[in-house]
């Protein structure tokens, strides 16, 4: 090792002599070697992730100073009083039900569901598309209400309870809906004998009932057929657009009939209904769904394409009904019978340095770039008070330290360490001028000082937008600094863990300071970025790569603190996020997931909504393809290699993007990410283009791009995989530090 370091320093010295003379940062005489790559825990096994305690848990969780925000909405009109004593979700699949009037529809697969005017409407949506977008439209196919509900003093629905996979919505005084994600049935109960009304915007062509009046088929003039099941006789009378029944007490289940041959399937599973559903991380890279059910018989639910890809039939007793399908904007939903599912994703590598390594021949070249980038570090140039852009700049600096460590240029590390100490601590101590992290007790989460008075500040961080993006960058810098300076890490560990818990808390306890997994959707298996804003198309997310960075950075923080629990959580969430990005954001022509018009013109979704696919970005039109590529790549990290493990797709992505560079005014920073992708299959061409760049993204650098290109392995498209394996399995070190 000493001989290797001497050779490296000789190469660096020769290279630096050729550069213009600059003052070299002095190396302290007491400098110690960099900390080991991965701490080695002594625990022989990892219990369930959600029950395993942190190895160094703080006795009292840290909270940033409280603030009473002037821009955050009041949750009390929609949540039942017992729920208000705990942190509330701010990016959930039912968020529209708790914002403004609560009357915007939500897509709870396979139905769009809307609650308004003391009634609940459901829609099996139609799908519209062009080369620029895909979306589903809401029509009140069926609306359920009771006369007593419409005359109730409260016009709002009440969120009685919620879980990872379900929501219980009550419409006072007598209706309770069990909205379980992926259920082909809409299920509700009447709490007392009450008349029922089922109306439609269409004309009812026919109503047929079985002799016991517990099954009814409803044919509408839009060619839809719905089947209604009841636990007791339901005496329906029909007018043109209304079905009504006298007093009824019991359970009602309603399902759209996609094909007449599926009626027997609905009949068979109509008597068993789920009332709630939970997801749990039983072990790393594994997620288990369990539903609480009532009635009798077997439980039928629907799985989206990623569920089907990850469903481990060896670990759970399920049967897949390949021919029982519903349409969805996320791809066909397929029937699965079983009380619990187990989803497994391939393990991924969470490493400080490049996965494949860098040849020693390139160390001096990278060190030369590092010399310039590190000399440019100074706390003063960070003039932004934005939590997002500030986070990007400190994470950029942290990258320089890890690159320096990888290539043996240890002289650069003290400068980076001092820079990070000077720039991170003010945010953790509340001494940074112009902005700060604060705690909002109304919903239960971190906001910024700027965001507490201006909903548009910090890209909406104060109304819970983009929390994993902003905090992910901070966690990355904290993880690297803690690796370099364990004493600093111990001092600020409470603040660091509080920031992590804001978006990665797994707890369900009422005394928690943060909601459970603020951004990550345990049914869709990816994150949502939008917060407390009502949108007609539900939640949305633009940058999957920044979402991956958040969980990857949390896992790195686990490495720096020797916390195998946090390593397991972060690695697992990052793995699922990668799978979802490859499934729904990376568009492959001929795949069949999206319509041909859309998949022919797009290789990357811009903004993905719960109920829409958009080629535009929040900050750029569809024609700016280099931005669409870049926002799904940045920040450039070791894990980026796993996110873009399908080299064949990357070739198509680069080919699709290149024409956009002919437009006047294309940013140099965006070009850098395009060249980084090209390096996955043509390092020489990418290197030549990279050397012509006149600037870099504020989270990127010449050193980082050079590190990326020089760490590319020589693999062909076939060896690189098909992009669906999650990536990283070939080099995964998870078992090395989590036995």
d(CA 92, CA 530): 10
Tokens of 392: 């990007």
Query: What pLDDT shows up at residue 26?
Result: 33
- Work out the angle at residue 394's Cα, subtended by the Cα atoms of residues 391 and 400, and round it to the nearest 5 degrees: 140
- Work out the angle at residue 427's Cα, subtended by the Cα atoms of residues 385 and 501, and round it to the nearest 5 degrees: 115
User: Are residues 534 and 547 in contact, defined by beta-carbon separation less than 8 angstroms?
Assistant: no
pTM: 0.91
Query: What pLDDT shows up at residue 351?
Result: 96
Q: What does each C-alpha distance from 222 to 111, 202, 595, 709, 733 come to in angstroms?
A: 16, 7, 23, 56, 55
Query: What pLDDT shows up at residue 192?
Result: 87
Q: What percent of the chain is helix, strand and coil (3-state, nearest 5)?
A: 35, 20, 45
Q: Is residue 635 reached through a cis peptide bond, with omega within 30 degrees of 0 on the bond before it? A: yes
d(CA 605, CA 615): 5
d(CA 221, CA 202): 6
Number of alpha helices (DSSP H) and beta strands (DSSP E) in the chain = 21, 28
- DSSP helix/strand/coil, 320: strand
- DSSP helix/strand/coil, 624: coil
Query: What pLDDT shows up at residue 21?
Result: 35
Residue 729 confidence (pLDDT) above 60: no
List the catalytic residues: 466, 542, 546
d(CA 311, CA 319): 11
Calculated CA dihedral for residues 426, 431, 436, 439, nearest 10 degrees: 100
Local confidence band at 23 (pLDDT 50, 70, 90 cut-offs): very low
Which stretch of 126-135, 150-159, 191-200, 681-690 has the lowest confidence by average pLDDT? 150-159
pLDDT in tens, 221-241: 999 999 999 999 999 999 999
Local confidence band at 41 (pLDDT 50, 70, 90 cut-offs): very low
Residue 630 confidence (pLDDT) above 70: yes
Element (H, E) at 614: strand 612-614
Residue 13 confidence (pLDDT) above 60: no
d(CA 666, CA 485): 39
Q: Which residues contact 559 (CB under 8 A, 6 or more apart)?
A: 38, 39, 350, 352, 479, 483, 567, 737
How would you class 6 by CB atoms within 10 Å of its CB: exposed for 0-12, middle for 13-18, buried for 19 or more? Answer: exposed
pLDDT in tens, 650-662: 999 999 999 999 9
Q: At what angle do helices 363-375 and 2-17 cross, to 10 degrees?
A: 60
**Is the pLDDT higher at 59 or at 296?**
296
DSSP string, 48-107: -TTTPPPTT--SS---PPB---SSSPP-TTTB-GGGGGS---SS-TTGGGGSTTS-S-EE
Residue 279 confidence (pLDDT) above 50: yes
Query: What pLDDT shows up at residue 473?
Result: 98
Q: What does each C-alpha distance from 104 to 112, 114, 306, 325, 466 come to in angstroms?
A: 10, 6, 27, 26, 22
Local confidence band at 14 (pLDDT 50, 70, 90 cut-offs): very low
pLDDT in tens, 330-340: 999 999 999 99
Local confidence band at 147 (pLDDT 50, 70, 90 cut-offs): confident
User: Are residues 586 and 544 in contact, defined by beta-carbon separation less than 8 angstroms?
Assistant: no
From the list 260, 102, 310, the residue with the least C-alpha distance to 726 is 310
Q: Which residue carries 């082909």 as its tokens?
A: 184
**Region 343-355 average pLDDT:** 96
Local confidence band at 716 (pLDDT 50, 70, 90 cut-offs): low
**Region 683-688 average pLDDT:** 98
Calculated CA dihedral for residues 626, 397, 479, 515, nearest 10 degrees: -50
Query: What pLDDT shows up at residue 191?
Result: 87
Query: What pLDDT shows up at residue 50?
Result: 78
Residue 426 confidence (pLDDT) above 60: yes
**Region 363-374 average pLDDT:** 98
Query: What pLDDT shows up at residue 732?
Result: 52
Q: Which residues contact 46 (CB under 8 A, 6 or more apart)?
A: 52, 283, 284, 564, 565, 568, 738, 739
Query: What pLDDT shows up at residue 510?
Result: 75
pLDDT in tens, 398-416: 999 999 999 999 999 999 9
Residue 725 confidence (pLDDT) above 60: no
Residue 723 confidence (pLDDT) above 50: no
d(CA 493, CA 489): 6
Average pLDDT, the chain: 90
Query: What pLDDT shows up at residue 574?
Result: 98
Query: What pLDDT shows up at residue 24?
Result: 29
User: Are residues 251 and 187 in contact, defined by beta-carbon separation less than 8 angstroms?
Assistant: yes
Residue 59 confidence (pLDDT) above 70: no
From the list 535, 641, 537, 643, the residue with the least C-alpha distance to 581 is 643
pLDDT in tens, 523-566: 999 999 999 999 999 999 999 999 999 999 999 999 999 999 99
**Is the pLDDT higher at 146 or at 7?**
146
- Tell me the pairing of strands 142-145 and 242-256: unpaired
**Region 596-619 average pLDDT:** 97
Residue 128 confidence (pLDDT) above 90: yes
């Amino acid at each position: 090792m000493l001989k290797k370091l001497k050779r490296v320093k000789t190469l660096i010295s020769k290279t630096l002599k050729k550069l213009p003379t600059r003052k070299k940062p002095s190396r302290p005489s007491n400098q110690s070697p960099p900390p080991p790559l991965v701490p080695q825990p002594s625990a022989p096994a990892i219990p369930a992730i959600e029950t395993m305690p942190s190895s160094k848990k703080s006795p009292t969780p840290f909270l940033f100073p409280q603030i009473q925000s002037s821009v955050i909405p009041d949750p009390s009109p929609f949540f039942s009083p017992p729920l208000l004593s705990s942190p509330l979700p701010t990016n959930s699949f039912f968020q529209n039900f708790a914002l403004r009037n609560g009357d915007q529809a939500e897509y709870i697969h396979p139905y769009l569901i809307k609650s308004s005017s003391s009634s609940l409407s459901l829609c099996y949506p139609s799908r519209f598309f062009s080369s620029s977008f895909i979306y589903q439209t809401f029509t009140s196919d069926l609306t359920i209400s009771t006369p007593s509900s419409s005359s109730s003093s409260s016009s709002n629905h009440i969120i009685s309870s919620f879980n990872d996979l379900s929501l219980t919505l009550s419409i006072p005084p007598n209706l309770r809906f069990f909205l379980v994600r992926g259920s082909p049935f809409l299920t509700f109960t009447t709490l007392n004998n009450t008349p029922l009304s089922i109306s439609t915007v269409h004309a009812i062509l026919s109503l047929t009932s079985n002799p016991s009046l517990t099954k009814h088929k409803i044919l509408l003039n839009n060619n839809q057929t719905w089947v209604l099941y009841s636990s007791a006789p339901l005496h329906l009378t029909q007018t043109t657009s209304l079905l009504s029944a006298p007093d009824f007490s019991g359970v009602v289940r309603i399902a759209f009939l996609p094909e007449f041959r599926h009626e027997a399937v609905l009949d068979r599973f109509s008597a068993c209904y789920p009332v709630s559903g939970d997801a749990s991380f039983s072990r790393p890279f594994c997620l288990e769904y369990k539903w609480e059910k009532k009635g009798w018989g077997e439980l039928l639910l629907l799985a989206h394409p990623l569920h089907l890809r990850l469903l481990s039939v060896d670990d759970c007793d399920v049967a897949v009904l390949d021919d029982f399908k519903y349409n969805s904007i996320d791809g066909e939903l397929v029937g699965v019978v079983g009380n619990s599912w187990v989803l497994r994703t391939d393990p991924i590598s969470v490493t400080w340095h490049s996965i494949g390594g860098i040849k020693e021949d390139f160390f001096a070249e990278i060190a030369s770039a590092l010399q310039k980038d590190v000399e440019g570090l100074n706390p003063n140039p960070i003039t932004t008070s934005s939590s997002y852009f500030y986070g990007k700049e400190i994470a950029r600096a942290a990258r320089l330290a890890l690159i320096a460590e990888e290539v043996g240029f240890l002289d650069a590390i003290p400068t980076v360490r001092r820079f990070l100490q000077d720039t991170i601590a003010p945010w953790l101590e509340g001494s940074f001028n112009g902005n700060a992290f604060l705690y909002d007790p109304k919903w239960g989460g971190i906001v910024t000082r700027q965001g507490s008075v201006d909903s548009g500040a910090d890209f909406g961080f104060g109304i819970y937008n983009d929390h994993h993006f902003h905090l992910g960058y901070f966690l990355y810098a904290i993880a690297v600094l803690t690796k370099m300076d364990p004493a600093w890490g111990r001092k600020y560990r409470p603040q660091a863990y509080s920031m992590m818990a804001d978006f990665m808390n797994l707890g369900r306890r009422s005394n928690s300071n943060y909601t459970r997994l603020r951004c990550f959707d345990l049914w869709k298996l990816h994150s949502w970025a939008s917060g407390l804003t009502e949108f007609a198309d539900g939640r949305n997310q633009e940058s999957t790569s920044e979402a991956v960075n958040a969980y990857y950075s949390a896992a790195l923080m686990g490495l720096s603190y020797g916390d195998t629990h946090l390593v397991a959580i972060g690695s697992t969430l990052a793995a699922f996020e990668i799978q979802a990005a490859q499934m729904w954001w990376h568009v492959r022509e001929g795949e069949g997931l999206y319509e041909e018009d859309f998949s022919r013109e797009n290789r990357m979704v811009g903004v993905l909504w719960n109920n829409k696919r958009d080629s535009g970005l929040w900050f750029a039109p569809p024609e700016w393809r280099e931005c669409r590529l870049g926002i799904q790549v940045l920040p450039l990290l070791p894990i980026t290699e796993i996110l873009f493990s399908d080299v064949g797709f990357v070739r198509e992505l680069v080919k699709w993007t290149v024409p956009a560079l002919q437009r006047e005014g294309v940013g140099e920073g965006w070009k850098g990410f395009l060249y980084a992708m090209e390096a996955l299959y043509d390092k020489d061409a990418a290197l030549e283009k990279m050397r012509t760049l006149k600037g870099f993204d504020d989270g990127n650098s010449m050193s980082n791009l050079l590190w990326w290109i020089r760490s590319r392995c020589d693999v062909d498209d076939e060896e690189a995989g098909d992009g669906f394996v999650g990536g990283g399995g070939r080099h995964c070190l998870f078992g090395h530090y989590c036995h």
